[in-house]
């Protein structure tokens, strides 16, 4: 049977372990040729080891697929271009970029260091921008030359970013930024035959397995396997998702959902007297929906705030 991504060339960053590994394996199962990128650092971003990426390549080749290793730091602008060039030189083109690489350096705002802020923003936000920038330039040049693209840019956001989670101002800010980046890039790149979407995955991985309750049941662990996220990524990477762009999706073993972005809420006429602001805004807030919690539902107790 021909796979839904047959013949497509994909790059998956952070693909040596966890969610990225599942993405790479499923894309290969469905016929894609995959550049398996992973710096191989620890979850806080230190160190480097190409062996996890090589193991994924070995698994893909063992199933009869095609794959190659890339050990670039995706936040390195020049190295990100070399990664894009590697896909084109190795497999003859590029159809899909999945920006998945990430790290954690969680800390409450009052204690967060400058380095903890800078590195998380760099890896997540610049590490999404750099590969996307070079891939977009490649697809634009193809379009200008009269070639047809059916390309995909798939980014990784998080419920910590789109809904918010204490202790993760750095990570959440980066992930909220990626959601905004996704929507704007979708507007810019649609003329070149490129769709841009983001996934907010829910899974237990090396980054998240020790967060939250430590006494999860086997059923809970199974529901949070990263394998549940891969079908969405594979569909987004395939021709079947043509025309779907500028969206943020949630995926886990518990839910598959579309996250709805910012919309203007209740409104009033402009106010030029500061003594009138309180009454006007209190009235608006009384009919404003509460912010969402990590489960995507209204936070209790926020009515009117």
Comparing CA positions, the residue from 110, 94, 113, 206 lying closest to residue 152 is 94
Going across the sheet that includes 248-251, the strands are 67-70, 33-37, 9-12, 96-98, 151-156, 194-201, 248-251, 256-259
Q: How many residues does the chain have?
A: 305
- Contact 94/71 with Cβ under 8 angstroms? no
Q: Which residues are catalytic?
A: 158, 171, 175
Classify 187 as helix, strand or coil. helix
Dist. CA 101–CA 94, nearest whole Å: 19
Comparing CA positions, the residue from 258, 238, 256, 240 lying closest to residue 248 is 258
Q: What are the CA-CA distances from residue 223 to residues 143, 169, 203, 214, 255 (Å)?
A: 42, 27, 8, 15, 10
């Amino acid at each position: 049977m021909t796979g839904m991504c047959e013949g497509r060339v994909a790059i998956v960053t952070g693909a040596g372990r966890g969610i990225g590994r599942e993405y790479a394996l499923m894309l290969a199962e469905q016929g894609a040729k995959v550049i398996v990128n992973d710096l191989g650092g620890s979850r806080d971003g230190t160190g480097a080891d190409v062996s996890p990426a090589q193991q994924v390549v070995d698994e893909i080749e063992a199933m009869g697929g095609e794959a190659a290793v890339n050990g670039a730091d995706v936040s390195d602008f020049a190295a990100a271009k070399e990664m894009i060039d590697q896909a084109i030189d190795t497999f003859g083109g590029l159809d899909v970029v999945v920006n998945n690489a990430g790290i954690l350096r969680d800390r409450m705002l009052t204690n967060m260091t400058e380095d903890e802020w800078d590195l998380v923003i760099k890896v997540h936000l610049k590490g999404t921008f750099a590969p996307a920038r070079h891939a977009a330039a490649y697809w634009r040049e193809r379009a200008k030359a009269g070639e047809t693209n059916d390309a995909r840019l798939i980014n990784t956001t998080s419920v910590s970013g789109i809904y918010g989670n204490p202790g993760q101002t750095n990570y959440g800010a980066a992930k909220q930024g990626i959601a905004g980046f996704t929507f704007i890039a979708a507007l810019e790149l649609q003329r070149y035959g490129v769709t841009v979407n983001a996934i907010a995955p829910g899974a237990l991985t090396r980054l998240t397995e020790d967060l939250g309750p430590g006494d999860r049941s086997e059923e809970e662990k199974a529901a949070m396997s990263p394998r549940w996220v891969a079908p969405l990524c594979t569909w987004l990477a395939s021709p079947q998702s043509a025309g779907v762009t500028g969206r943020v999706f949630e995926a886990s073993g518990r839910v598959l959902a579309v996250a709805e972005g910012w919309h203007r809420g209740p409104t009033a006429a402009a106010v030029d007297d500061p003594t009138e602001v309180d009454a006007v805004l209190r009235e608006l807030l009384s009919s404003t929906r509460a912010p969402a919690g990590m489960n995507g539902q209204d936070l209790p107790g926020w009515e009117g705030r």
